[in-house]
Amino acid sequence: METERFSPRYKDIDIWDAHDVLDALIEGQFAAVAAVRAARGDIERAAAGMEARLGETGRLVYAGAGTSGRLAVQDGAELMPTFSWPRERLLLLIAGGEEALIRSVEGAEDETDRAVALVRQHEIGPADVLIAVAASGTTPFTLACLGEAKRRGALTIGIANNRGTPVLEAADHPIYLETGPEPIAGSTRMNAGTAQRITLNALSSLLMIRLGRVYGGLMVDVQPANEKLGQRSEKMLHHLTGRPATEVREALARAGGNVKLAVLLLKGCSPKEAASLLKRARGRLREALRQLGVREKDED
């Protein structure tokens, strides 16, 4: 496998000058970006499939082990505060469980029975999407999660850094990231990990945009869970409506901190009307505003 292969280029890296080592490591990061760009078409097709599958109730499931699993979990966990992705619609399956987030759990990546049991326990099925991430493309836990989820009808996305490997062969939407050998042979936390991180970020961000959780380049579904995010919500609402700070804060209070609802309130809707508009627009603020504009035009 390319990610495990020793590269003669780095055979003396331990005696290079520090700046030469850093140059090589940074160059590898650029190579990781290039690998993601080369896979852009596959990422776009995967996002389209995910958008069509998730609908109103489907769950987003991440599966992985080791570094790949931790990267997958991180991407999934960030969807909740950033885009208000519902907790009940997110599953994070990592070999070794929560302990594996902070330390290596020996043998966990080989626990295929555990992987199958988790997929069955959570009743993953046709409404769901599972993203399996494995640099090698052969990790038993990850492959078992993907295989069982696919058998049960879920849409599967496979991300790997070695061509023609089982994770890519089994997935409905394979995403191959050609990062090649690492400066430290087999250390896939380096180039392979960077490419995975970018891919996950781009894939989930594109999905959230397509699902209407971004409007005008703003994270209008952000959860104001702390003072910083509360201030961000106020700035977004002011930017979108031009209303003074007092009206902005009042609208956000009436909307329970929901920026999209607050925009509609400041457009003259009652809370009930705003909620109804957003529901009909499937949460898409742009569509809700279009419908509101049509309605106002009809009333005139």
> Catalytic amino acids?
78, 109
Residue 139 neighbours by CB under 8 Å, 6+ apart: 64, 65, 66, 68, 95, 109, 167
Q: Which amino acid is at 100?
A: A
Q: From residue 92, give the alpha-carbon distance in Å to each of 43, 100, 115, 138, 272.
A: 20, 12, 12, 19, 34
SS3 152: coil
Q: Which amino acid is at 235?
A: K
Q: Which amino acid is at 87?
A: R
Gap between the Cα atoms of 54 and 208, Å rounded: 11
End-to-end CA distance of the chain: 67
What torsion do the CA atoms of 148, 149, 154, 155 make, to the nearest 10 degrees?
-100
Query: Exposed, middle or buried by CB within 10 Å (0-12, 13-18, 19+), for 12?
Result: exposed
Q: At CB < 8 A and 24+ separation, what contacts does 287-295 make? A: 287/212, 288/260, 288/264, 289/263, 289/264, 292/264, 292/267
Gap between the Cα atoms of 67 and 140, Å rounded: 15
Contact 143, 11 (CB under 8 A): no
Q: At what angle do helices 40-54 and 18-38 cross, to 10 degrees?
A: 60
